[in-house]
Amino acid sequence: MDKTEIIEKTVGFVKSKMEGDSSGHDWWHIYRVWNNSKMLHKKEGGDLFVIELAALLHDVADWKFNSSEHLGIKIVDDWLNSLGLDKSTCVRVIDIIKNISFKGAGVEDKMESIEGKIVQDADRLDAIGAVGIGRTFAFGGKFGNEMYNPEVPVVMHDSFEKYKNSKGTTINHFYEKLLLLKDRMNTPTAKKIAEGRHRFMKQFLQQFMDEWRCKQ
């Protein structure tokens, strides 16, 4: 198979896994991350084939949707091997997917390759701004999180285990993750885009709290 056919087959595989999801991690999230990744590649460089594969497959392995991180990675690895890809490409894609997720405010990112930084930025851009706000409330509703409870404090998690097991509110998630992403973008292009989306989230949160406190 040539690269175009491999990408087309991977699109079909990912659609079969993610289509219809109601947590904000549906096929259209993948589609936006894929397109954002291609846009960032034009500005920042890197191996487009690796970028596209990682962007398409990144949530198939997500710990939130598998019984374990190991199982999620195995599903992706099995798919890549079924395509007859060389070992180097498989390793590069898997390495991106293993390190793409935000794992807590106090946990450093470990992405090293330009391909990984691009896909991570593309994913994080979809987590902020208007689309990010919508996805955050979709996720909170799907997993039974309270929308907001002033008695539940914001927590800056210092380990992945604490972050993964957190039961905070949807509004807290903005402070525990989303408002931190602007300063954790990797590429100049993503940093610039993130500025506007970050401002929009802050405006939304101000409006939300004004209404919550019954301010006119």
What domains does the chain contain, in order, with CATH numbers? 3-212 (1.10.3210.50)
Compute the distance between CA of residue 18 and CA of residue 29 in angstroms, rounded to an integer: 9
pTM above 0.85, yes or no: yes
7 in Cβ contact with 53 (< 8 Å): yes
Q: What is the pLDDT of residues 114-153, one digit of tens each?
A: 999 999 999 999 999 999 999 999 999 988 899 999 999 9
Compute the distance between CA of residue 142 and CA of residue 137 in angstroms, rounded to an integer: 8
Q: Tell me the one-letter amino acid at 48.
A: L
In this structure, what token pair is assigned to residue 50? 């690796």
Q: What is the pLDDT of residues 60-118, one digit of tens each?
A: 877 666 656 778 889 999 999 999 999 999 999 999 999 998 888 888 898 999 999 99
Among residues 84, 107, 68, 97, the alpha carbon closest in space to that of 1 is found at 84
85 in Cβ contact with 3 (< 8 Å): no
Handedness of CA 174, 134, 181, 64 (dihedral sign): positive
